[in-house]
Amino acid sequence: MATVVTEKLSRLFVNARQVPQLLAPLSPSTVSSSEVPKVFWKPYIHTGYRMNVWTHLVAALILLLRFQQLWQRVDFGQDLHAQPLLIIIVASITYLTFSTLAHLLQAKSEFWHYSFFFMDYVGVTVYQYGSALGHYYYAIEPSWHEKIQGFYMPVAVLLAWLSCAGSCYAKYRYQQSAHLLSRLCQELPSGLAYMLDISPVVHRIYTAPPSKQADPALLYHKCQVVFFLIGAFFFSHPYPEKWFPGKCHFFGQSHQIFHVCLVLCTLAQIEAVVLDYESRRQIYSTLQGDLAHDFSALCLFTVACSVLTAAYMARKVKNQLSFKEE
């Protein structure tokens, strides 16, 4: 049974004239206790949370348009070295789309609340792998490639899967994201994954000679690092709503700022990778050889493991809810 929140969000796509009504605050009588699972709903029913749908939806549409432009000049089918670029673009669109669906449709029921966020975590895992591959394939310098080539991609796959598994388990086991062990399960694998995935970019930034500091790709890489770090701060700390209690229901809440920063990080990252693909072919073609097919197969393996993990956790949720009903 769709709740009032989901119905209002859906109407926004049908009739723009209903925007004022949609953005009006929900009163306690609007959402009855019988319609929502009490454990989950307090963070999701206020109007500010609805705006989180739009941040990732707009970004997904922007990337789709960018993908269309690239499709006209990049031969993704025949150019072996274009496969990692295709993977990171598709992975970015996937995580943005899955996040949009999770924020839009999680209100349908308690089971779908869990399931859509499990799907969201799968999207994040795919994006983590795409980011690791894009940085390793295009952005890396030969000196750093020599040091990490033996373990970088396998460890990136492991940490990406652990991020998915940890997030799914935290959602299932602890329910409230403020719980210490919940944050640990979610943030530790993701933090380790980011440190590994971004290492080729950080190494390149710090070792680039002064003549290369104005390289547009390098500037985009610097932007993506800055946006990610700012987003990570707001993901972990409830500011500015802690400074202005009751004043950030619509605009300015920390999770909303995190969404915007993550979107900006992704857009800057895609531009950086595209520029690296176009300008560094001599470097990456020598370093990577014909490994693009292997990396594509590794992507499918990562996706399969993540989907199976999310499906397993969704099954556990379903069994738990069935047991409660009995």
pLDDT digits (tens, 9 = 90+) for 84-96: 999 999 999 999 9
Using the structure block, give the residue that is written with the tokens 């997030």. 167
Backbone angles phi, psi at 291, to 5 degrees: -85, 0
3-state secondary structure the chain: CCCHHHHHHHHCCCCHHHHHHHCCCCCCCCCCCCCCCHHHHCCCCCHHHHHHHHHHHHHHHHHHHHHHHHHHHCCCCCCHHHHHHHHHHHHHHHHHHHHHHHHHHHHHCHHHHHHHHHHHHHHHHHHHHHHHHHHHHHHCCHHHHHHHCCCHHHHHHHHHHHHHHHHHHHHHHCCCCCCHHHHHHHHHHHHHHHHHHCHHHHHHHHHCCHHHCCCHHHHHHHHHHHHHHHHHHHHHCCCCCCCCCCCCCCCCCHHHHHHHHHHHHHHHHHHHHHHHHHHCHHHHHHHHCCCHHHHHHHHHHHHHHHHHHHHHHHHHHHHHHHHHHC
Higher pLDDT, 157 or 105: 157
Q: Is the pLDDT of residue 18 over 50?
A: no
| Spatial CA neighbour of 121 closest among 134, 142, 106 | 106
Measuring CA to CA, how many Å separate 269 from each of 92, 190, 218, 224, 279?
10, 17, 10, 6, 15
Model pLDDT, residue 326: 57
Q: Which residue has the higher pLDDT, 236 or 110?
A: 110
Other CB atoms within 10 A of residue 212 CB: 12
Q: Which two tokens stand for residue 159?
A: 């940490």
Q: What is the pLDDT of residue 154?
A: 95
pLDDT tens across 254-264, in order? 677 888 888 99
Range of lowest pLDDT (82-86, 158-162, 167-171, 243-247): 243-247
The pLDDT of residue 12: 38
Q: Per-residue pLDDT tens for 176-233?
A: 555 667 677 777 888 899 999 999 999 999 998 887 777 899 999 999 999 999 888 8
Residue 138: what pLDDT? 95
Is the pLDDT score of 77 beyond 50?
A: yes
Q: Which residue has the higher pLDDT, 68 or 236?
A: 68
Backbone φ and ψ for 264, nearest 5 degrees, come out as -65, -40
| Rounded (10°) angle between helices 180-197 and 110-134 | 20
Task: Supply 271's token pair.
Answer: 């531009």
Residue 16: the pLDDT is 38
C-alpha 290/C-alpha 200 separation (Å) is: 20
Contacts of 233 (CB under 8 A, 6+ apart): none
* 139 band by pLDDT with thresholds 50, 70 and 90: very high
Please, what is the average pLDDT of the chain? 80
Other C-beta atoms lying within 10 Å of the C-beta of residue 111: 15
Walk me through the domains of the chain, giving residue ranges and CATH numbers: 50-325 (1.20.1070)
Residue 200: per-residue pLDDT:
96
> pLDDT tens across 40-50, in order?
444 444 445 55
d(Cα 137, Cα 131) in Å, to the nearest integer? 10
Task: Please state whether the predicted TM-score (pTM) of the whole model is above 0.85.
Answer: no
Q: Which of 251, 260, 206 is nearest to 233 (CA)?
A: 260
pLDDT at residue 251 above 70?
no
pLDDT at 38 over 80: no
Residue 109: per-residue pLDDT: 81
